[in-house]
Every structure is written in C-alpha cells, then in structure tokens.
Homo-oligomer: A and B are copies of this chain.
Amino acid sequence: IKPKSMKLSEWITLNVGGKYFTTSRSTLTSKEPTSMLARMFANNEDDYLFIPSNMDSKGAYLIDRSPTYFEPILNYLRSGHLIYDSNVNPEGILQEAKFFGIDSIIPQLENLRVQKKTDVPLT
C-alpha cells in the first residue's frame, strides 16, 4: 500500500481560528468531493463554488471556525474513521460537519445527540 503522505500532492496549511493544521489537498478534496471544504480547495477550477479564503502572513488559509472541533473532521478525511477523545463534545463536531458539508458523518453524530438527550439535558 502507498501511504497518503507519499502521494504526489500539494501540502496545505490551514489557520483554523488561530490553530495551524497541515494537510494535503487530496485529503481535503478526495473523501467528500462535493462538500464545501473540498470545493474550497478543488484542483479543477471548474469545481470551485467559492474563491479560497484569505491567507495569513505565513501563507496559511484562514478559516473562521473552532479548531477543537475541526480536528476530528480533518482526521476523518485523513483516515476514514470518526474518532474523538472522551472529553470532546460530539455536538461541536456535528456543527462543523454541517458547516463544512461533510455529510457522511452527520447521521452518526445526530444519533449520538438523540442518545444523550434521553440521559441528560443537553447544553
């Protein structure tokens, strides 16, 4: 198997709310090609829905969202698995999945919300 990090892909740094994430264009665009996130970084200009966001002084793309909850989203795009630590609130991941249009994990996250509501009042 050829690992992702070895692909001849362009490296991209995102400044999500002040925290830096380094990833490849293929990670952002391959898994869910029709998502807003994928279309922000699409190789093919015809696929663009939006112009890319501004860059900061270090050349990182600025995204005005929560870095905490973006992290599991990005890991999902990297590994194909939605995994998060026990202290992380899945409600936060759900909001980011909706914002970036990562539709494939939304049902799973909404399911968790339903389960929790039966236990304790949600924040």
Task: Report A's interface with B, CB cutoff 8 A.
Answer: 2-6, 11, 13, 15, 17-24, 27, 36, 50-51, 53-54, 56, 62-66, 68-69, 71, 74-75, 78-79, 81-92, 95, 99, 108, 112, 123
Number of chain copies forming the complex: 5
Contacts of A13 in B (CB 8 A): 18
**Neighbour of A91 across the interface among B3, B4, B17, B83, CB < 8 A:** B83
Q: A3-B36, A21-B18 are in contact. Are A81 and B95 (CB under 8 A)?
A: yes
Chain B minimum-CB-distance residue to A37? B3
Do most interface residues of chain A lie in helix, strand or loop, or is the interface mixed?
A: mixed
Q: A5-B53, A6-B53 are in contact. Are A95 and B83 (CB under 8 A)?
A: yes
